[in-house]
Amino acid sequence: MEVGLKMANMLGAADRDLNLKETELCLGLPGGGKTEPETPKTGNKRGFSETVDLKLNFQSKEAVDLNEKNNINNSSSSKEKNLLSSCTKDPAKPPSKAQVVGWPPVRSYRKNIMAHQKSSSQEDGEKAAMSGGSSSAAFVKVCMDGAPYLRKVDLKMYKSYQELSDALAKMFSSFTMGGNYGAQGMIDFMNESKLMDLLNSSEYVPTYEDKDGDWMLVGDVPWDMFVDSCKRLRLMKGSEAIGLAPRAMEKCKSRA
Amino acid sequence: MLKRMSYSSFPEDVLEHVFSFVQSDKDRNAISLVCKSWFEIERWCRRRIFVGNCYAVSPRMVIRRFPDVRSVELKGKPHFADFNLVPEGWGGHVYPWIYAMATGYPCLEEIRLKRMVVTDETLELIAKSFKNFKVLVLSSCEGFSTHGLAAIAANCRNLRELDLRESEVEDLSGNWLSHFPDTCTSLVALNIACLGSEVSFSALERMVGRSPNLRTLRLNRAVPLDKLANLLRRAPQLVELGTGAYSSDLRPEVLSNLAGAFSGCKELKGMSGFWDVVPAYLPAIYPVCSGLTSLNLSYASVQSPDLIKLVSQCLNLQRLWILDYIEDSGLEALAASCKDLQELRVFPSEPFGVEPNVSLTEQGLVCVSEGCPKLESVLYFCRRFSNDALVTIARNRPNMIRFRLCIIEPQTPDYLTHQPLDTGFGAIVEHCKDLRRLSLSGLLTDRVFEYIGTYAKKLEMLSVAFAGETDLGLHHVLSGCESLRKLEIRDCPFGDKALLANAAKLETMRSLWMSSCSVSLEACKLLGQKMPRLNVEVIDERGPLDSMPESFPVEKLYIYRSVAGPRFDMPGFVWNMDEDSALRLS
């Protein structure tokens, strides 16, 4: 598989009309590429085929979103580039505060404490039990099998699996693109049999540790529930993830 | 007959004795430049060193020049790491320093680190390498767990200070505290406020009980309020106290017990903690209020009336950190009662809320600037400001040395005139001639930078976000601010021209941070190649730089002077722009 990513191509495409990009990891719902992935209306229980649509195609034609985190642009040229991402926010709309990284400049130490305090002082007693609190930050460690160091993401920065997947792709692209780790990227979860094939391969599977300490497959539950229960993320090699699928199904069933 | 004094015949030990009275680094550095013999004498008797950027110099170079150091202070990541702008894995590893000092400075007694990555392995190495180790301060550090702390506790027989302020510690067990041997009675300061889970309370109690020199104790949230009184009774000599959670079921005996314990603390000058405050328990500290000079209520979600009652009793307060629950009315009361106030920090209770949740405006700060003649250091988060208010503050307080204003919504104009806040901040730099630190916010054009470049001659650190219009803005700052050491910029339309035109200036500064600006890869390369004594580091997570067009703006740029050359521990998303790197990139 051609993994070599030619950024020159991608960036040359910046001036052209930029639609859906097929380059990246998408944790979108089936049909993918929607700007605003809907949260499933049917509640927790979903079969695998409906859970996640993960695709990675490193034969890129489009440019990467350059200033994904920089939502407030001062240069007009980069405004165009912001149109790239299929998951981008509408550039004409001013970004809401929560999306600007590191602004206002409140230390995450403080944000986390305030979040925890607010939830415990709320009348809603059960909220006090939740470790994440009702607002602000939810930092979790992200590790990728084979990568030399871990990363951290604030799950509250994202509104959907799609956005998270984009961010993770960016973060770990330096490993996957160079081909050093032989990664072929995330896998396609379109259907169960394909899932089984791919789980046997060396590609990566996104998993997370939930509040109970169990390792789950990313994408089963509604986004908000995921954010509240996710304690850490692990991009696991496909061949190691085989044991997860049945467990995830069990958990799903037990929640029904 | 003329007697001539010959400096070269001054005995060395006399000079050394004279130098021992000179403690400031700047003065010591000046001494070392006088002549070769002074350089030699001075370097042998320098006992403490401060390295503001751990990558500016290598540990080997430091040890070679200063062979007998007892105290080391290092800083790692750039300041904006506090706001998650520096990706994890960037660097700031302290291990190479500790490894070198383990052999180079066996008599090392004090290590102070800020924004560095400290591993358990590092802590274990510290614990076994320095026989007379006394002070460990880890400020905003990360990468270690309670296992590492256990190693320190178990091995550092003469430990005086263990201060973990705001570090991120992996909490594996509360038992680490029990690793302090019963023979350890030397503790002077213990700050475990950042630890999430419970420490063994009985171990803590015993520790406090056998430490007659304990002056500073900052507990973590897990220490319940009803246990605080007992601790205080064992340590009535405390000068600084950080409470644990300040809440309990309302029981009269807890309150009276606590108040009684506080009455016994005659030396108490500073208090912090106050998580989960139940206001009914605040009166317990009334007995000590009049002695307090420092009060950190910045985690206390308490409403203004209770805060006013508390603060108006602290007549000797010099430093107050508080949430915006205090509101303008509370700040008015503060201005009326606390005439010795020097430092005020007002933090936002809901920084991401779109609508203001409290009535805190520019008025509060204006009031304090009028009523508190010694006010010199301000950090203020609010949602609106005006040029008039800034001008008033500037005129009231020409003695201001630190002024950091954060108007929460980026690019907010003067709420009265809808103009940029250029003239307001201009007044600050014009009137406050000794201003050392400034953080800007609100709607700002190039004009504000012109004022800063013209007037802010003592400014050492400037933080800029979402401001300016053209490269001229950056050029004003780099060409005008003679004392500038640290400049951090995010989301501003500054590009190549100002940076390249002022390249030489960068060698006179500790560091420059620019993120989400318009500096091209080409300019970074040029700078890196032309300035061998600068490390020009591009931080870009989008992918390999070699396929990026030269005209493309880089995501983040961190430039710092260094005599150590490019660093060896750059992760995959950081590139050094010097000549060798440039060859590799093409």
The residues in B 36-95 lying below 8 A from A, measured between CB atoms, are 80, 82-85, 87-89
Element (H, E) at A143: strand A139-144
When pLDDT is averaged across residues B385-412 and rounded to a whole number, the result is 97
The residues in B 208-237 lying below 8 A from A, measured between CB atoms, are none
Q: Quick one: closest CA in A to B551, which residue?
A: A11
Task: Show residues of chain A in contact with B82, CB under 8 Å.
Answer: 105, 107-108
**B93 near B116, Cβ under 8 Å?**
yes
Binary contact (B491, A106; C-beta < 8 A):
no
When pLDDT is averaged across residues A43-52 and rounded to a whole number, the result is 38
Position A43 pLDDT exceeds 70: no
Look at A61-70, B53-62, B223-232 and tell me which has the smallest mean pLDDT.
A61-70
User: How far away is chain B from the Cα of A194, in angstroms, using its nearest Cα?
Assistant: 29
pLDDT band at residue B198 under the 50/70/90 scheme: confident
Per-residue model confidence (pLDDT) at position A155: 87
Peptide bond into A104 cis (omega under 30): yes
Global pTM value: 0.76
Per-residue model confidence (pLDDT) at position B408: 95
Closest to A67 (Cβ–Cβ): which among B88, B410, B516?
B516
% of chain A surpassing 90 pLDDT: 2
User: How far away is chain A from the Cα of B111, in angstroms, using its nearest Cα?
Assistant: 23
Chosen from B83, B489, B557 to mutate, greatest number of chain A CBs within 10 A = B83
| Tokens representing residue B364 in the block | 């509060």
Per-residue model confidence (pLDDT) at position A173: 63
Binary contact (A74, B408; C-beta < 8 A):
no
Closest to A109 (Cβ–Cβ): which among B166, B408, B466?
B166
**B426 near B401, Cβ under 8 Å?**
no
Per-residue model confidence (pLDDT) at position B538: 96
Q: Quick one: closest CA in B to A98, which residue?
A: B352
Q: Quick one: closest CA in A to B346, which residue?
A: A106
Q: Within 13 Å and on the Cβ side, how many CA atoms surround B340? A: 14
% of chain B surpassing 70 pLDDT: 97
For residue B380, the cross-strand partners are B346, B405
Q: Quick one: closest CA in A to B519, which residue?
A: A75
Chosen from A58, A76, A106 to mutate, greatest number of chain B CBs within 10 A = A106
Binary contact (B544, A177; C-beta < 8 A):
yes
CA-CA distance, B541 to B66, in Å (whole number)? 39
| Tokens representing residue A197 in the block | 């094939």
pLDDT tens column, A215-237: 888 888 888 888 888 888 888 87
Per-residue model confidence (pLDDT) at position B170: 92
Closest to B83 (Cβ–Cβ): which among A12, A102, A121?
A102
Position A86 pLDDT exceeds 60: no
Per-residue model confidence (pLDDT) at position A131: 35
User: How far away is chain B from the Cα of A222, in angstroms, using its nearest Cα?
Assistant: 23
Closest to B88 (Cβ–Cβ): which among A102, A113, A150?
A150
Position B287 pLDDT exceeds 90: yes
Binary contact (B543, A96; C-beta < 8 A):
no
Task: Quote ipTM for the complex.
Answer: 0.88
pLDDT tens column, A163-176: 888 778 777 765 54
- What count of other Cβ atoms lies within 10 Å of the Cβ of residue B212? 11
Binary contact (B518, A75; C-beta < 8 A):
yes
Task: Show residues of chain B in contact with A8, CB under 8 Å.
Answer: 547-549
% of chain B surpassing 90 pLDDT: 89
Binary contact (A102, B84; C-beta < 8 A):
yes
User: How far away is chain A from the Cα of B78, in angstroms, using its nearest Cα?
Assistant: 13
Binary contact (B83, A105; C-beta < 8 A):
yes
The residue among A65 and B17 whose pLDDT is bigger is B17
Task: Show residues of chain B in contact with A13, CB under 8 Å.
Answer: none
Look at A133-137, B335-339, B512-516 and tell me which has the smallest mean pLDDT.
A133-137
Task: Show residues of chain A in contact with B277, CB under 8 Å.
Answer: none
pLDDT band at residue A255 under the 50/70/90 scheme: very low
pLDDT band at residue B443 under the 50/70/90 scheme: very high
CA-CA distance, B84 to A152, in Å (whole number)? 9
Per-residue model confidence (pLDDT) at position A205: 79
Binary contact (B541, A106; C-beta < 8 A):
no
The residue among B35 and A7 whose pLDDT is bigger is B35
Binary contact (A7, B544; C-beta < 8 A):
yes
Q: Does A6 touch chain B (CB under 8 A)?
A: yes
When pLDDT is averaged across residues B425-433 and rounded to a whole number, the result is 98
When pLDDT is averaged across residues B350-370 and rounded to a whole number, the result is 93
- Report how many Cβ contacts below 8 Å link chain A to chain B: 135
Chosen from B114, B541, B586 to mutate, greatest number of chain A CBs within 10 A = B541
The residue among A146 and A12 whose pLDDT is bigger is A146
Chosen from A3, A15, A77, A103 to mutate, greatest number of chain B CBs within 10 A = A103
Binary contact (A67, B87; C-beta < 8 A):
no
- Pairing type for strands B461-465 and B486-490 reads parallel
DSSP B342: -
Chosen from A99, A113, A114, A134 to mutate, greatest number of chain B CBs within 10 A = A114
Per-residue model confidence (pLDDT) at position A225: 87
The residues in A 8-27 lying below 8 A from B, measured between CB atoms, are 8, 10-12
Position B75 pLDDT exceeds 50: yes
Position A248 pLDDT exceeds 80: no
User: How far away is chain A from the Cα of B375, in angstroms, using its nearest Cα?
Assistant: 23
When pLDDT is averaged across residues B235-241 and rounded to a whole number, the result is 97
Per-residue model confidence (pLDDT) at position A125: 35
Per-residue model confidence (pLDDT) at position A252: 43
If we measure between CA atoms, which residue out of B296, B264, B253, B262 comes closest to residue B277?
A: B296
If we measure between CA atoms, which residue out of B235, B188, B218 comes closest to residue B299?
A: B218
| Tokens representing residue B439 in the block | 């953080």
The residues in A 102-141 lying below 8 A from B, measured between CB atoms, are 102-111, 113-114, 117-118, 120-121, 135-136
**B320 near B343, Cβ under 8 Å?**
yes
Q: Does A180 touch chain B (CB under 8 A)?
A: no
Q: Does A98 touch chain B (CB under 8 A)?
A: yes
Per-residue model confidence (pLDDT) at position A32: 37
| Tokens representing residue B180 in the block | 């302090």
Position B282 pLDDT exceeds 50: yes
Q: Does B408 touch chain A (CB under 8 A)?
A: yes
Please list, in sequence order, all residues whose beta carbon lies within 8 angstroms of the beta carbon of residue A216, skipping any fewer than 6 positions away: A207, A208, A209, A210, A244, A247, A248, A251
User: How far away is chain B from the Cα of A152, in angstroms, using its nearest Cα?
Assistant: 6
pLDDT band at residue B548 under the 50/70/90 scheme: confident
Long-range contacts of B500-508 (CB under 8 A, 24+ apart): B500/B526, B500/B527, B501/B475, B502/B474, B502/B475, B502/B478, B503/B527, B503/B530, B503/B531, B503/B534, B505/B478, B505/B479, B506/B478, B506/B531, B506/B534, B506/B559, B506/B561, B507/B531, B507/B533, B507/B534, B507/B561, B508/B484, B508/B561
Q: Say which residue the tokens 């998303």 belong to.
A: B573
User: How far away is chain A from the Cα of B39, in angstroms, using its nearest Cα?
Assistant: 42
CA-CA distance, B246 to B263, in Å (whole number)? 17
Which of A34-43, B200-209, B444-453 has the highest average model confidence (pLDDT)? B444-453
Element (H, E) at A194: helix A192-199
Position B266 pLDDT exceeds 80: yes
DSSP A89: P
Per-residue model confidence (pLDDT) at position B251: 82
| Tokens representing residue B330 in the block | 């509370």
Position B83 pLDDT exceeds 50: yes
Per-residue model confidence (pLDDT) at position B59: 97
pLDDT tens column, B143-157: 999 999 999 999 999
When pLDDT is averaged across residues B28-35 and rounded to a whole number, the result is 95
Closest to A170 (Cβ–Cβ): which among B83, B89, B542?
B542
Position B526 pLDDT exceeds 70: yes
Look at B19-23, B318-322, B373-377 and tell me which has the smallest mean pLDDT.
B19-23
For residue B162, the cross-strand partners are B136, B190
Task: Show residues of chain A in contact with B573, CB under 8 Å.
Answer: 174
